[in-house]
Amino acid sequence: MEALILTPDSAPLTRDIADYPEGIIIPIEKPYRWTSADVIRKVKYAAIRHFGKKNLKVGHAGTLDPLATGVLLVCIGKATKLAEELQSHDKEYVAGVTFGATTPSYDLEKEIDRFFPHEHISAESVENALPGFIGEQDQIAPLFSAKSVDGVRAYELARKLYKANSESSSEQNSELDTAAEQLLRVSKINITELELLQFTGGVCGLQNNPSHYVGPSPCGQGCGRNNNR
């Protein structure tokens, strides 16, 4: 018997958690600005009320940044033991990239701090650059990410550092990158496929299929560096 994967077409859950000895897996579309922990808290509260069991185990496979949207796999009961296995499966992402501007957070959490010429970038030049991202490579996530540093989310440390830093934007970005290299471990990622879906006036849509990936970023600066964030 396998864990129950709950879908919109599934029959209603019974009130007895014992009816699901291998646990339950719920794919949830994480809302924008919600943390993964926010999702777990709400699901756990609802599950405890539904099953009438206070010590119910609820967890998730992988962590999405607050500004990222996408599928978060929530595991209930014995299915929490499958979290690591679920994270190792292939994943697919669709990302929008705007060229010619950067932000300190590598996404839209912070305001644009620098602008660069981008008129020379075309759909053809993007297509030619994509093969360089294919294959296994080392990756250090930005400090503005959901990575854990001694039990604290990296983006929480980044926000404190950003707020305390009154230097110029270039020096500030350099300090954030240096902090990321010092605090975050290098991860191995393997991108098996990368496709340009559309290109319109310096804005492109990318679809990729990496087997291990931290998360997409809609910021041109990340695309300019060979780390796919």
For 118-169, write each residue's pLDDT tens digit. 999 999 999 999 999 999 999 878 777 778 888 888 878 877 877 776 555 5
pLDDT of residue 170: 57
Compare 166 and 75 and report the one with higher pLDDT. Answer: 75
**What average pLDDT does the structure give for the chain?**
82
Residues with active-site annotation: 65
Question: What pLDDT score was predicted for residue 166?
Answer: 56
What is the pLDDT at residue 215? 35
What is this structure's pTM? 0.70
209 pLDDT band (50/70/90 cuts)?
low
- Does 180 score more than 60 pLDDT? yes
Provide the 8-state DSSP code for 11.
P
Check pLDDT > 60 for residue 177.
yes
pLDDT band of 1, cuts 50, 70, 90: low
**Cα 2 from Cα 10, distance rounded (Å):** 15
Parallel, antiparallel or unpaired: strands 187-200 and 203-210:
antiparallel
The residues with which 196 forms a beta bridge, in sequence order, are: 206
Distance CA 12, CA 9 (A): 9
pLDDT of residue 47: 97
pLDDT at 207: 80
Q: Of 173, 134, 172, 176, which is closest to residue 155 (Cα–Cα)?
A: 176
Tens of pLDDT, residues 189-204 = 899 999 999 998 777 7
Strand ranges (E), the chain: 4-5, 24-30, 58-61, 70-76, 93-98, 101-102, 114-115, 135-139, 148-149, 152-153, 187-200, 203-210
- Higher-pLDDT residue of 2, 107: 2
Predicted local distance difference test score (pLDDT) of residue 171: 60
Residue 80 above 50 pLDDT?
Answer: yes
Domains of the chain by start residue, with CATH: 4-87 (3.30.2350.10), 93-224 (3.30.2350.10)
